[in-house]
Amino acid sequence: MSLPVLSIAQMREWERASWASGHSQAEVIQKVGCRIAVACLQATGLGDRVLILAGKGHNGEDARAAAGELKGRDVVLFNVGDPGTDLARLLQELARRPALVVDGLFGIGLDRPLGEAWIAFIRCLNEAALRVVAVDVPSGLDADTGKPQGEAVKAWKTITVGAPKKGLLEEPAGAWVGRLEVAEDVGLAPCKVAGELVWTTPGDFSDYPPVRPVESHKGTHGHLAIVAGSLGYHGAAVLAARGAQRAQPGLITLHTSDSVYFPIATQLQAVMVRLLEQGTKLQGDWTAHLIGPGLAGLQGVETASALTRLLWRDSLLPVVVDASALDWLTLNAVPRNTLRVITPHPGEAARLLRIPPAAVQANRLDALRRLSRQMGNGWVVLKGHHTLIGRSTGEVFVNPTGNPFLAQGGSGDVLAGYMAGLLAQPALQGDLSIALRYAVWQHGLAADRLFATRPNWIVEELVQEIGLR
């Protein structure tokens, strides 16, 4: 199930409650060690050298526990005591170019800047440019602020214990944390600490989407209306439509301009394609709307912009607004209990809030809250590293899946289409939170599966992969 994102103080409180209730600290260390070992085994091959840097604290104990589980690997356990005297040995070990390094030097207990000897030690490790798995937190990184204490280990992957620490999700931390994973079930007591940010886990979707009734038909599963595509951007409309198909609504109709009607229509079979006509209504028995992919080159935007504003303001159906159409929204109130979603990337969020993109990235949670308030308390999917999903109040969910190769043209169009395809289905409209989280999670998971098999994957392949279970 979902995990709270915790501060250092909250994590300490959880640990104290666990020890007080009889949970064994030694057992937790062993389980953490096993989880670290699994990650190391997955990242290396038989006979590969794994260098384990173990400090004096609990992180060092976790790292030492991992050493005993690395069967079939050439394990070098380096117990680091004095960084000044141990630096020469570190240089020797790094010169042997281990396949992987385990960073167990410091944990979340580091509460002061590192001394010069430690800075030099960690800097040498970073300059070696090896793959590093950090235990709980990259050594030297403040787990509350996400800033280094003078210097910090640059990890390829960080496996944090129990629950994510809030500093690991802060904008500055990405360069040190690498890919963030959570070792959840390590023997701690049930966590009773609630947080504003919530980390999504695969267990959130164990029974989702629900099984379809055997007697259902295409009318049972909704009809999505998409407004997308313009001269020079017709591919975005195709990708959005194909993404929507992977969510399997009953019907999809794509409305587009006459300048790109034929290149779009000839690439789609099951999706119906219509001309976007003058006026502010889409005639049809729809169950959801998606507006925005590929409209950047639209000539005479009055029809599409007026339609966007009208649907956002008045429609009782779910409305998803993406890409260029975000700029057409106004600050009108929306009907109560209606489903509204915007899907900006940081640059689009910055335009809507009239602040620099760097300000969005510096406080993504605040940017999401402000956007939601600005858009009538609608749902915001703030895309980027660890995409956020939430509204002006309540929990905001952090997505753990995905990789940097999602940063290519068309990726967002696939997500918008897949998301709208889910929301068009009446059976999935009761809980918008889980539908949005599932869409984002599947989108990232598809990218992760593709990268694991062929690192040079392209967005057209993302369409083929998204939604597989």
Given 171, 190, 209, the domain boundary residue is 190
Token output for 11? 């994590």
19 domain residue, yes or no: no
Domain containing residue 148: CATH number: 3.40.50.10260
> Do 164 and 264 fall into the same domain?
no
Range of the domain at 171: 24-190
Residues 139 and 237 in one domain: no
| Residues 294 and 234 grouped into a single domain | yes
Report the C-alpha gap between 323 and 228 in whole angstroms.
Answer: 10
The answer to the question of residue 310 being in a domain is yes
3-state SS of 67-105? HCCCCCCEEEEEECCCHHHHHHHHHHHHHCCCCEEEEEC
Quote the number of domains for the chain. 2
Q: pLDDT tens, position by position, for the chain (469 residues)? A: 789 999 999 999 999 999 999 999 999 999 999 999 999 999 999 999 999 999 999 999 999 999 999 999 999 999 999 999 999 999 999 999 999 999 999 999 898 999 999 999 999 999 999 999 999 999 999 999 999 999 999 999 999 999 999 999 998 899 999 999 999 999 999 998 888 999 999 999 999 999 999 999 999 999 999 999 999 999 999 999 999 999 999 999 999 999 999 999 999 999 999 999 876 678 899 999 999 999 998 887 788 899 999 999 999 999 999 999 999 998 877 888 899 999 999 999 999 999 999 999 999 999 999 999 999 999 999 999 999 999 999 999 999 999 999 999 999 999 999 999 999 999 999 999 999 999 999 999 999 999 999 989 999 999 999 998 7
The verdict on residue 208 lying in a domain is no
414 and 265 in a common domain = yes
β-pairing, 396-398 vs 388-390, is antiparallel
My answer on whether 179 and 223 are in the same domain is no
In a domain, 99, yes or no: yes
Instruction: Tell me what pLDDT residue 392 has.
Output: 95
Task: Give the CATH number for residue 320.
Answer: 3.40.1190.20
Tell whether 210 is covered by a domain.
no
* Structural domain contains residue 15: no
Quick one: 152 and 225 in the same domain?
Answer: no
